Amino acid sequence: MTKEELMHKAIALSKDNVSNGGGPFGAVIAKNGEIIATGVNRVTANNDPTAHAEVSAIREAAAKLKTFDLSGCEIFTSCEPCPMCLGAIYWARLDKIYYANDKNDAARIGFSDAFIYEELSLPKEQRHLSTERLLADEAMETFVMWSNSEDKIEY
């Protein structure tokens, strides 16, 4: 399939999802023009704030390919990824992102991510979500265990 055909599929998924009680977002993961996985936004339908189209597609692709490394794959999404999805795309090592609507289009219909980007640029003590470090020494033991493990799978 061409890039345009794959994007048409992502957009069609988003339209179908709105008709089925979900958010206006769809995603397709492809490898060499072949669809590997798809996802739609089911945040409110599933009461899952992480059920974004891109994350759902990544989960499906990783399960289907039996790997957490999706190098060689590309993602086609009906809207520019939010910070969570963008992070997931980087962690999954997808080669390229294609998107249709952008974050400004999303903000105009009530899906603004600007507050997250603004929060991340602030020092922790100035953020709206309070954070506190606890038991760092105890937790460090796990990092030492990981560092010393000879059978770990690095990612």
Secondary structure in 3-state letters for 29-86: EEECCEEEEEEECCHHHHCCCCCCHHHHHHHHHHHHHCCCCCCCEEEEEEECCCHHHH
Report the half-sphere exposure of 142 (CA within 13 A, side-chain side): 4
pLDDT band of residue 115 (cuts 50, 70, 90) is: very high
Helix H or strand E encompassing 101: strand 96-101
Does the annotation count 54 as an active-site position? yes
| CA distance linking residue 60 with residue 100, whole number of Å | 21
From the list 4, 5, 34, 54, the catalytic residue is 54
pLDDT band of residue 153 (cuts 50, 70, 90) is: confident
Is pLDDT of 155 > 90?
no
pLDDT band of residue 53 (cuts 50, 70, 90) is: very high
- In this prediction, residue 51 carries a pLDDT of 96
The mean pLDDT value for 128-153 works out to: 92
